[in-house]
C-alpha cells in the first residue's frame, strides 16, 4: 500500500525542495562485493545466484527507512512494503519485467521468485506490484563487465542495481555492481549504508 505524504513532515524535506525538479536527479555509486558465500550456497543448495542476490538486496534495503519513500509525479509517496524486480527472458526471446514481493523468509521469497519468473517467461507479460516500492535490478550475467550506469527516463524514479558476471579472484568471488537512486529519496550516506549492509547480508546468509 502507498500513500502521499507531505515532504515537509519527513526527513526528506530539504532534498525534495532541492532535487525534485532537477533535470538529472539520479546519483550512482559503484561497489565491488565479495559474493563467495552466495556462490557456495548457490552451488551446494541448488539455489539461483540471481535469486539470492535479489533477496539480499531486499533484506539490506528493508532496514533503511528511506527505501519506503519514493518521488512520483512531483509528489512524495510512502510505501509499507518492498519488492525486488528482475528481468526475465521470455518464451518469445524478448525480455519481461517481474516484481517479486520481498519476504524476510528466504524460502518464501525463493518460492515466489521461481513461480513468478516462470509465469512471466511463459506468458510474456510483465508482473507489476504497483503498491510496493520496487527496487529494480538487471543482471547481465553473460557479460564480463566492470560496471554499468542506469538510464534516467524521467518516468521511473525507483532505485536500480546492475551487475554482470561475478569474477574469480582466488580465493574470493567478486561482483562489481552499480546502484542508482533518486537524490530526493536518499542521500549518498544512505546509499553507502545500504551497500555496506548488502555486503553484511551476503556474508550472513544461512
Assigned domain for 17 exists? no
Identify the CATH number of the domain in which residue 171 sits.
3.30.559.10
Cell of 152: 534516467
Report the b/e string of 10-29 with b at 16+ CB within 10 A.
Answer: eebeebbeebbeeeebbbbe
**So what's the pLDDT on residue 128?**
98
Q: Please tell me the total count of domains within the chain.
A: 1
Please report whether residue 1 resides in a domain: no
Extract the C-alpha cell encoding 123. Answer: 506468458
Q: What percent of the chain has pLDDT over 90?
A: 90
Inform me whether the pLDDT recorded for 176 exceeds 90: yes
Say yes or no to pLDDT of 148 above 90: no
| pLDDT surpasses 90 at 150 | no
What is the percentage of the chain residues whose pLDDT exceeds 70? 100
* Candidate from 9-13, 137-141, 151-155 with smallest mean pLDDT: 151-155
Length of the chain, please? 206
Q: Is residue 52 part of a domain?
A: yes
Count other C-beta atoms under 10 Å from residue 203's C-beta: 14
3-class secondary structure for 154-185?
CCCCCCEEEECCCEEECCEEEEEEEEEEECCC
171 lies in a domain?
yes
Is 121 within the bounds of a domain? yes
Q: Cα(153)–Cα(155) distance, rounded to whole angstroms?
A: 5
160 lies in a domain?
Answer: yes
- The mean predicted confidence, pLDDT, of the chain is 96
pLDDT at 16: 97
Q: What pLDDT score was predicted for residue 154?
A: 79
Domain presence at residue 189? yes
What's the mean pLDDT in 108-128? 98
Beta strands at 75-79 and 133-139: parallel, antiparallel or unpaired: unpaired
What domain range includes position 131? Answer: 23-71+81-204
Within-domain flag for 12: no
Residue 97 has pLDDT above 90, yes or no: yes
0.85 exceeded by pTM: yes
Residue with cell 519468473: 117
pLDDT of residue 144: 85
State residue 3 phi and psi, 5-degree precision: -140, 145
Main-chain dihedrals φ then ψ at residue 164, nearest 5 degrees: -115, -145
pLDDT in tens, 132-145: 999 999 999 888 88
- Is it the case that residue 155 has pLDDT exceeding 90? no
Is 171 in contact with 149 (CB distance < 8 Å)?
A: no
Amino acid at each position: 500500500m502507498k500513500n502521499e505524504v507531505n515532504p515537509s513532515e519527513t526527513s526528506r524535506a530539504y532534498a525534495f525542495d532541492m532535487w525534485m525538479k532537477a533535470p538529472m536527479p539520479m546519483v550512482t555509486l559503484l561497489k565491488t562485493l565479495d559474493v563467495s558465500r552466495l556462490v557456495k550456497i548457490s552451488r551446494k543448495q541448488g539455489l539461483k545466484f540471481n535469486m539470492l542476490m535479489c533477496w539480499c538486496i531486499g533484506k539490506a534495503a528493508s532496514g533503511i527507512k528511506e527505501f519506503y519513500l519514493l518521488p512520483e509525479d512531483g509528489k512524495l509517496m510512502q510505501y509499507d512494503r518492498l519488492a525486488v524486480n528482475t528481468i526475465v527472458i521470455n518464451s518469445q526471446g524478448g525480455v519481461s519485467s517481474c516484481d517479486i514481493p520481498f519476504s524476510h523468509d528466504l524460502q518464501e521469497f525463493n518460492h515466489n521468485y521461481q513461480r513468478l519468473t516462470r509465469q512471466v517467461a511463459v506468458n510474456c507479460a510483465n508482473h507489476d506490484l504497483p503498491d510496493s516500492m520496487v527496487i529494480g535490478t538487471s543482471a547481465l550475467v553473460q557479460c564480463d563487465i566492470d560496471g554499468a550506469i542506469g538510464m534516467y527516463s524521467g518516468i521511473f524514479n525507483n532505485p536500480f542495481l546492475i551487475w554482470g558476471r561475478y569474477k574469480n579472484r582466488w580465493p574470493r568471488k567478486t561482483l562489481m555492481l552499480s546502484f542508482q537512486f533518486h537524490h530526493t529519496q536518499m542521500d549518498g550516506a544512505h546509499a553507502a549504508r545500504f551497500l555496506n549492509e548488502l555486503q553484511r547480508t551476503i556474508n550472513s546468509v544461512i
